[in-house]
Amino acid sequence: MNVDIGNALGTTPGVTEATLERLDDRVADAHERIADGMVNDEFGYASLNLPETTDPDAIRAAVAPFEDPEAVLTVGIGGSALGAATLADALDSDVDAYFLDNVDPDHVDALLASLPLDDVVVNVVSRSGTTAETLANFLVVREAMADAGVDWTERTFVTTGESGNLRRLAEAHALPALDVPEGVPGRFSVLSTVGLAVAALQGHDVEAVLAGGRDGMDALSGSLFESPAYAYGATTYALAERGARTNAFMPYAESLETFAEWFAQLWAESLGKDGLGQTPARALGATDQHSQLQLYRAGPPDKLVTLLRPTERSTSTIPETDLDGLAYLGGSSLGDLLDAEFDATEASLAAAGVPNVRIEIDRVDERALGELLFGMEAACVLYGELASVSTFTQPAVEWGKNAARGLLGGGAFPEADAVDDKRELRIEGR
């Protein structure tokens, strides 16, 4: 993974090399804190040890009973789904991967109706074992399997904490069970059982993903000028301090679109604390050049754009054409066109004084993805240290959970009462 921060210098908002030099002293201190947290396996910091502590054999053993499934269905939400989905959507496999990470009945019903329930492995993932969406979806999936005459206990494994509903379910029905890693918040758990079980079932090289993560570990140092991950974390932090409230994360590869979704949770849930943070806006190149780029380039000077691409792509030649004004495309390739658009967008933003950071990986494969995932996690941890926020907690999400639970009769929660206090000013349609 390489990071180029040159287009964040002298922009609006922007940083100077002097700023980064001064900031580098704080990066060195932060790195020491991070390194100590890793050595002591402290809550949260333990996440950055996963490339070394995750046991691929345990993952393979848990999924071994499920030989050559047609598909794997993950029932989970947030960090319990997005990491596995990132790898599944980035890498090709003969085993289809599906994710139920929402409780939209139309979507759930349609997906279950489309699946070969007698040849699907169900992976229920929840660290807490209490997440309403995940447990509700699991109950619906289990019912659908029973209705289809499928013994769900033969086709289900769980990934969960050492106690809770899913752990009890696994014990009661002798389901294969994977442990979620101790001290690792869900959004940091992709390089563990949580993110890698689906990859193992899909036949991906889990060791290579972890090796990429170790490449990322090896690239950490006490200076942002020597560590791509810290260069990204420090630069995005410095830009946020100078007004870049939004980070438009724009991969130029369809295979990395879900990665942007994973990044959004990591960045928002880790850094959105105490009135601080940087809003991750998910975008996709080149598509969003025809959608959001107008705002990025000519809207309020309150954002940075992160441009991510693999430097190796397939070719896919564009046939020669005499279409009016388009002959120049003939004989080129779609990859060339996409890269030209990447370069053009980068230059377009720079010309407008909009800060942008380039992240490049060699190709979209297991090892590069492992390093990229680790790198963004390390960048996030560094940003959190520099911003002095509690990177590894997410207290703000509990209010809504309690309100929903109270509304459904799951207990007496004052938050639910507050829902009734909604101020109304309805404008009626026809």
401 is catalytic: yes
Active site residue 204: no
Question: Which positions from 408 through 427 interact with ligand F6P, judged by CB under 6 A?
Answer: none
Is residue 187 a contact point for ligand F6P (CB under 6 A)? yes
Q: Is 135 in the site for ligand F6P (CB under 6 A)?
A: no
Q: Is 270 in the site for ligand F6P (CB under 6 A)?
A: no
Interface with ligand F6P, residue 212, by CB under 6 A? no
Report phi then psi at 221, rounded to 5. Answer: -150, 180
Give 117 or 169: the residue with its C-beta nearer to ligand F6P: 169
Candidates 58, 110, 340, 397; binder of ligand F6P (CB under 6 A) is 397
First and final CA of the chain: distance in angstroms? 54
Q: Does residue 186 touch ligand F6P according to CB under 6 A?
A: yes
CB-based contact 234:244 (threshold 8 Å): no
* Residues contacting 202, CB < 8 A, separation 6+: 72, 88, 91, 93, 95, 97
| Helix runs in 40-154, H state only | 50-53, 56-63, 82-90, 105-114, 132-147
**Under rule CB under 6 A, residue 137 binds ligand F6P:** no
**280 forms bridges with which residues in the sheet?**
247
Active site residue 290: yes
| Contact in structure between 153 and 175 (CB atoms under 8 Å) | yes
CB of 383 to ligand F6P, least distance (A): 17
Interatomic CA distance for residues 64 and 143, integer angstroms: 24
Q: Which of 133, 261, 269, 366 is catalytic?
A: 269
Q: Which stretch binds ligand F6P (CB under 6 A): 78-86, 198-206, 236-244, 356-364?
A: 78-86
What's the gap between Cα 221 and its chain centre? 24
> Smallest gap, in angstroms, from Cβ of residue 89 to ligand F6P?
18
Count residues near ligand F6P (CB under 6 A).
Answer: 15
Residue 199 binds ligand F6P (CB under 6 A): no
Amino acid at 295: L
Task: Tell whether residue 77 is a contact of ligand F6P (CB under 6 A).
Answer: yes
> Of the listed pieces 44-52, 72-80, 288-296, 327-335, which binds ligand F6P according to CB under 6 A?
72-80
Q: How far is the CB of 374 from ligand F6P (least distance, A)?
A: 18
Identify whether 13 is preceded by a cis peptide bond (ω within 30 of 0): yes
Only one of the segments 51-59, 180-188, 299-307, 322-330 lies at the binding site for ligand F6P (rule: CB under 6 A); that segment is 180-188
Q: Rule CB under 6 A: is residue 131 a binding residue for ligand F6P?
A: yes
Closest Cα to residue 266, out of 385, 383, 180, 377? 377
List binders of ligand F6P among 23-52 (CB under 6 A): none
Q: How far, in Å, are 37, 49, 177, 356, 399 from residue 46 at the CA level?
A: 7, 5, 21, 30, 27
Cα–Cα distance for residue pair 380/169, rounded to 1 Å: 35
Q: Which residues bind ligand F6P (CB under 6 A)?
A: 77-80, 126-128, 131, 134, 185-187, 269, 394, 397
- Active-site residue list: 269, 290, 401
